[in-house]
A = this chain, B = another copy of it.
């Protein structure tokens, strides 16, 4: 019920800047500067977004020398995907039950 990880993952994906960063990272790893280059904001602002992505588990990064390289962590992507897919499946099953109920003999005139 209380899934803190999901809170953070969905919250991370709710921001267009962070989705843009994810879009970049699904094509391969990138440095902080490379992530920031196309974004209309300061580098510290990008750092904050990166921190949110890392805390959610969607992104991991490591620093070598003075360069920090960021990469996607696909497990969290799957977790978010699965939560939504599961709920959509539940909804479809409940529709099926409704259909079966309406088709059942007890509902004939």
Residues in A lying within 8 Å of B, measured CB to CB: 1-3, 6-8, 10-11, 13-16, 19-20, 22-23, 25-28, 72, 74, 77-78, 80-81, 83-85, 87-88, 90-92, 94, 98
Contact = CB atoms under 8 A, between A and B. Distances in A.
A77 B84 contact: yes
Contacts of A88: 26, 74, 77-78, 81
Give chain A's interface secondary structure class: helix
Given A72-B91, A77-B88, A91-B74, A14 B11 contact: yes
Nearest to A87: B26
A14 B10 contact: yes
Given A11-B14, A14-B7, A15-B7, A81 B84 contact: yes
Top 5 A-B residue pairs of the complex, sorted by shortest distance between their CB atoms: A10-B14, A11-B14, A26-B91, A26-B90, A81-B84
